Structure 1
């Protein structure tokens, strides 16, 4: 059996949309002694492929770390593939707070030296001597202790959109950078203070807590299951959420809302906003925060040069980015000089959150379904006209649609008028060519989706 993906992300997205099945986004990890990571990797790829499981997984001699998307109907079967291994029996699966059927579009299982890049010499200390695990209720109670120092062990672009009130949020790009910084900052508090730490799903704290105990910290505690499990317990038990804002996640969603607080700002205009996107220019792909108004104005780009590039023909764009190593830009994570309002902050400052209007407004995408109905049919040299071939279902005047593509990004609009096969019409059906005005340029690779609201 093949042990690699054969479908592109676009092809996979189309199959998911056409299948119309609900999927569950989840994550899990487990430290364990794996004798043959390569065989373990291949075995997982085979059984997960049969279940149509997608996602990103790292395996190493020290264990497994995974973020997955699984068809809801295959959820229990997926759990059984894990519990077939003794070290994963009873494993906790962190189910996402907000679900998106397109959170992952391919299955990747990679063998790595470590399941988290921590930069630590594991042989130098006892990695099993971890901190005390706390559930949500216990965590909330400990936050009231004046002798507690709360530390966020995530990166700056994660804590920028959401964190626990009063937490130290290191201004770092990677987890490994935060360890020596926090160790230096808290040297004088090893015996007098209780070190309380948290991260997204708990895995970073598993190693960090052992490291800090090795460094001489006597009282080390960690949030079990991280922010994901904390949010679940808060909702299930009716607890007060001490976490404000969004929890950044490493999939297509780029974040799931925990509370209605917006503690970040658009990196281009400065207005309150916590929506992360990647620059629409594939040669850049910078991760940054962009509000709806700037997204519409800049067509999902981080700068004017990038906006100019995406207006070029696809072949020309490929020629421009040929040989460019965009990784350095991707992992600058919102610190590009092109961003006027990039986040520069004192990690000890008090953040004043801005309340958003309503939860329903924030989560409106959760209550809608996108139906693929068309494919780009013609490339126009100027941004004014879009033409699609309707390949499925029908669309009517007044319908809301979504146009997506590698360069176009995601563009929503309401069809106030259109032509079908060159004539004014109210409805377009399968095999029709539909033409309508747009304020941007579409590509032949662009897809047309009909937005259906769900109650």
Structure 2
């Protein structure tokens, strides 16, 4: 197994691989079986273009699942990033079939055929500090709010599906006339940049770069005193966010809209734990808030009894999950 450097009791693995999957249903069923056999929880997405997801469990259990995935056709080089958690960050195990492992919605984009130039975390600072480089955060608005790189442009997208339209609308302003500048893009774990750089290449942009391993690998490898990252990195599980060294962050989650909340957000008079935050208070009816209030009461009762409470909740903002 890859080296896992953390002292936490739970190992978390964010992984993805673009590869041809001939029988998604068969792979889904076998993945579900191996995850169940190893007491693994999390989410894995399977599509004709590959696999993507984040899972958690014991170090040995994660090793077994990763070994199974890497034994599949064209998946030996599956990208995996490891971190730790003090407690299990997922409630259940889900293996789902999707049209895409990360949804962009543009036909014909194939990262296996054309993709941007990978830049290692240790070379990333020099690239994005260059004034001739345009730096674009490909994540969604609520993720960027938790943290981003210096000089990064925030597209303010609510979904990765919005990125192509945003770029096409802003292309002239971003790239100007004459020789196009270098474009450096980044995302949480690297997978969205596989598609976004392939998309820019298809749009005729030549010098396109992306952070290999994403923000997670950068935070793992680059010392904080050398870092150009500001804030925390939102992750799609109960840890909510992580910081340098992939240490647990300080953000919590609004259980209504699934936005990450910092200390200032939680100090708002419109914030009610388990019910709403300032951003979504006006989006919910009083009946919805009452329902959320009762659910939160049940969660607290279950926690007091040492039990897990898993119930219905509002959908997450955006559609991404896994190693995005």
Instruction: Find the structure with the greater CA-based Rg.
Output: 1
Q: 1:240 to 1:308 in 2, by over 3 A?
A: same
**2:36 is paired with a residue of what secondary structure?**
helix
Q: Does 1:128 align with 2:113?
A: yes
Q: Residues 391-410 of structure 1 correspond to what in structure 2 (within 5 A)?
A: 406-408=295-297
TM-score (norm 1): 0.57
Q: 1:214 to 1:102 in 2, by over 3 A?
A: same
Where in structure 1 are there 5+ consecutive unaligned residues? 1-20, 260-272, 280-284, 322-404, 411-441, 450-455
Q: Residues 335-354 of structure 1 correspond to what in structure 2 (within 5 A)?
A: none
**Equivalent-residue separation in structure 2 for 1:306 and 1:181 (angstroms):** 28
Q: 1:140 is matched with which residue?
A: 125
TM-score (norm 2): 0.78
**Equivalent-residue separation in structure 2 for 1:222 and 1:158 (angstroms):** 18
Q: Does 1:277 align with 2:253?
A: yes
Q: 1:171 to 1:67 in 2, by over 3 A?
A: same
Partner deviation per Cα, 1:152-198 (whole Å, 9 max, x = no partner)? 00000000110001100111100110222123323362732001000
More helix by proportion, 1 or 2? 2
8 Å CA contact 1:276–1:287 kept in 2: the answer is: no
Q: 1:299 to 1:115 in 2, by over 3 A?
A: closer
Q: Does 1:92 align with 2:79?
A: yes
Structure 2 counterpart of 1:227, from 207, 215, 225: 215
Structure 2 counterpart of 1:160, from 145, 150, 153: 145
Q: Residues 248-397 of structure 1 correspond to what in structure 2 (within 5 A)?
A: 248-258=234-244, 275-279=251-255, 285-288=256-259, 289=261, 291=263, 293=267, 298-302=272-276, 303=281, 317=291
- CA drift at 1:25: 1.1
**1:244 is paired with a residue of what secondary structure?**
strand
**2:183 is paired with a residue of what secondary structure?**
strand
- CA drift at 1:446: 5.1
Q: 1:187 is matched with which residue?
A: 172
Structure 2 counterpart of 1:112, from 82, 98, 119: 98
**Equivalent-residue separation in structure 2 for 1:107 and 1:311 (angstroms):** 28
8 Å CA contact 1:137–1:239 kept in 2: the answer is: no
**Equivalent-residue separation in structure 2 for 1:297 and 1:211 (angstroms):** 39
Q: Which has the higher contact order (CA 8 A, sep 6+)?
A: 2
Q: Over the residues paired in the alignment, what is the CA RMSD in angstroms? A: 3.2
Partner deviation per Cα, 1:117-158 (whole Å, 9 max, x = no partner)? 1011126x7752110000011111112222100000000000
Q: 1:398 is matched with which residue?
A: none
8 Å CA contact 2:111–2:194 kept in 1: the answer is: no
Q: Does 1:246 align with 2:232?
A: yes
**Equivalent-residue separation in structure 2 for 1:297 and 1:146 (angstroms):** 40
Q: Does 1:447 align with 2:283?
A: no
Partner deviation per Cα, 1:319-339 (whole Å, 9 max, x = no partner)? xx9xxxxxxxxxxxxxxxxxx
**Equivalent-residue separation in structure 2 for 1:305 and 1:185 (angstroms):** 29
8 Å CA contact 1:127–1:207 kept in 2: the answer is: no
Structure 2 counterpart of 1:38, from 18, 22, 25: 25
